[in-house]
C-alpha cells in the first residue's frame, strides 16, 4: 500500500499542474473578447472566442474518452499538450491580420486550444478521482487540482486586462501577445517534464463490467449537471466583466480585476473545501453550495445597480479597495460556492461505474460545452433586451436550481 502511494506522488503532482494549465488557457478567452466586443459593438460576439473554446469539448469529448481508453493517460496528456501549443500559436498568429480575417483565425485558434483543454480534462479528472479511490478522498484531490486551476484562472484575466488597458479604436489583439507566449511556454515546459516521468494507470473496480455509462441515471443527470455548472461558472464573471465596462464605464483593467476576484474566491473556496470535502460527502457539499449561490445570484438581480459599495479586488497580486455596483459584489461572492461544485458533481456522476469511468469521462468532457453555450445565451439575452445585463442572470439562476435538484434527487444511484 505504501509503495502505491509513493508511485502515485509524481502523477498526482503532474495532474495538478495540468489542472492549472486548463484554468490559465481557458480564462484568456473571455477577457480577450473585450477587444472583439468593442470592434463589433456586440457582447455576444465578444463571447464567441469563449464559445469556440468550449464548443471543442462537444466535438472532442467522446473521441478523447476513446483515446484515453486506447492509449492511456500519459500519451493522451502529451497529445493534448502538443494540440494546445498549436492552438495558442494560431491565436498568436491571428494578431498579425486585420479585420475579419484576424477574427476568424483567432476563433480557429480558440477552437483548437479547446481540443487540448478537453483532452487534458479527460485525463486529469478520472485519474485524480481514481487515485483517491473515489468518495471523499477523490473529491479532495480534485479540489486540490481545482485550487491551482483557480489560481492561474485568476491571474489570466488580470494579466489580459492590464495588457489591454483602455479599449480604443487602436486596440488590437496582438496587444495580449505576452499572455499567449507565456501560455505556450507553460505547455512546452510541462510537456517536457511529463515526457520524462512515469505515469502509472490507476486501478479500477474490474468487478463492474458494464461499459455503457449512459445506462446509469445518476451519470446522465450528472453529465447534464456538468454542462450547467460550467456555463454558470464562466457566465457569471464573464458577463459581469462586460456589464462593468458597457454600463458602468469601467476600463478593461479595472473590470478585469473585479472578474479576477471571482476566480480568486474560487481559489479560496477550493483551498477551504479541501478540508471540508474530507469530512462532508459530495451530496451535502453540492446542496449547500448551490443553495447559497442561488441566494447570491437572486440578490444580485434584485438590488439596484445604482447602489455602490466598496470591496477589495484582486489586483497585481494584492488587494485594493474598489467602488463597484452592489450587484457585482453578490456575483463575485458566488465564486466561493462554485469552487466546490466541479469535484462534487464529477464524483457523484462516476460513482460505481467501474471500467466505464474512462468512457464516462469523455462524455462528461463533451458536456463542458455548456461553458460556451450558456454564457452566449446569457449575452444573447443582453442583446435582445437592449443591454439589460442584470436580467440575463436568470440563466445562471436556473442553472443553479438544476444543480440543487441533482444534489437532492438526481445523484441518487438506482
pLDDT by residue (tens digit) across 81-128? 999 899 989 988 887 776 778 888 888 988 998 888 888 888 887 777
pLDDT digits (tens, 9 = 90+) for 56-70: 888 888 888 788 878
33: Cα separation from own chain's centroid: 16
CATH of the domain at 275: 1.20.1250.20
Q: Measure the CA–CA gap between 387 and 211, rounded to whole angstroms.
A: 47
- Cell readout for 392 is 440575463
Q: Measure the CA–CA gap between 203 and 132, rounded to whole angstroms.
A: 11
Q: Measure the CA–CA gap between 373 and 350, rounded to whole angstroms.
A: 24
Q: Of 158-162, 185-189, 263-267, give the lowest mean pLDDT range.
A: 158-162
Best CA proximity match to 282, nearest among 335, 337, 340, 336: 340
Q: Measure the CA–CA gap between 177 and 322, rounded to whole angstroms.
A: 28
Virtual torsion, Cα 176, 180, 185, 191, nearest 10 deg: 160
Model confidence, pTM? 0.74
Domain extent at residue 256? 2-410
**Cβ–Cβ under 8 Å, residues 231 and 396:** yes
How many domains does one find in the chain?
1
C-alpha gyration radius of the chain: 20
**Number of residues in the chain:** 414
- Cell readout for 249 is 464605464
Amino acid at each position: 500500500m505504501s509503495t502505491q502511494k509513493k508511485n502515485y506522488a509524481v502523477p498526482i503532482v503532474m495532474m495538478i499542474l495540468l489542472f492549472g494549465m486548463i484554468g490559465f488557457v481557458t480564462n484568456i478567452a473571455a477577457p480577450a473578447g473585450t477587444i472583439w466586443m468593442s470592434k463589433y459593438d456586440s457582447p455576444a460576439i465578444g463571447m464567441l472566442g469563449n464559445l469556440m473554446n468550449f464548443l471543442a469539448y462537444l466535438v472532442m469529448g467522446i473521441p478523447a474518452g476513446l483515446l484515453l481508453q486506447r492509449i492511456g493517460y500519459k500519451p493522451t496528456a502529451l497529445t493534448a499538450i502538443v494540440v494546445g501549443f498549436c492552438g495558442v500559436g494560431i491565436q498568436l498568429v491571428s494578431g498579425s491580420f486585420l479585420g475579419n480575417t484576424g477574427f476568424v483565425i483567432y476563433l480557429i485558434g480558440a477552437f483548437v486550444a479547446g481540443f487540448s483543454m478537453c483532452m487534458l480534462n479527460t485525463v486529469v479528472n478520472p485519474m485524480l478521482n481514481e487515485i483517491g479511490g473515489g468518495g471523499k478522498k477523490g473529491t479532495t484531490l480534485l479540489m486540490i487540482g481545482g485550487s491551482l486551476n483557480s489560481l492561474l484562472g485568476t491571474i489570466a484575466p488580470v494579466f489580459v486586462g492590464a495588457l489591454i488597458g483602455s479599449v480604443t479604436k487602436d486596440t488590437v489583439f496582438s496587444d495580449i501577445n505576452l499572455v499567449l507566449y507565456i501560455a505556450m511556454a507553460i505547455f512546452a515546459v510541462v510537456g517536457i517534464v511529463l515526457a520524462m516521468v512515469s505515469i502509472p494507470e490507476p486501478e479500477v473496480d474490474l468487478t463492474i463490467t458494464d461499459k455503457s455509462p449512459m445506462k446509469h441515471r445518476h451519470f446522465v443527470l450528472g453529465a447534464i449537471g456538468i454542462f450547467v455548472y460550467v456555463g454558470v461558472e464562466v457566465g457569471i464573471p464573464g458577463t459581469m466583466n462586460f456589464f462593468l465596462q458597457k454600463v458602468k464605464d469601467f476600463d478593461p483593467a479595472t473590470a478585469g480585476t473585479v472578474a479576477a476576484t471571482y476566480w480568486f474566491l474560487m481559489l479560496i473556496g477550493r483551498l477551504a473545501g479541501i478540508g471540508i470535502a474530507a469530512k462532508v460527502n459530495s451530496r451535502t457539499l453540492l446542496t449547500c453550495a448551490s443553495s447559497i449561490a442561488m441566494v447570491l445570484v437572486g440578490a444580485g438581480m434584485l438590488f439596484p445597480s445604482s447602489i455602490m459599495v466598496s470591496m477589495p479586488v484582486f489586483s497585481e497580486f494584492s488587494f485594493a479597495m474598489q467602488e463597484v455596483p452592489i450587484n457585482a459584489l453578490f456575483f463575485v461572492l458566488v465564486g466561493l460556492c462554485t469552487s466546490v461544485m466541479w469535484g462534487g458533481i464529477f464524483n457523484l456522476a462516476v460513482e460505481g461505474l467501474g471500467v466505464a469511468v474512462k468512457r464516462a469521462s469523455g462524455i462528461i468532457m463533451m458536456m463542458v460545452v455548456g461553458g460556451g453555450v450558456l454564457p452566449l445565451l446569457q449575452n444573447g439575452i443582453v442583446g435582445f433586451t437592449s443591454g439589460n445585463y442584470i436580467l440575463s442572470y436568470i440563466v445562471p439562476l436556473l442553472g443553479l436550481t438544476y444543480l440543487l435538484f441533482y444534489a437532492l434527487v438526481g445523484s441518487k444511484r438506482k
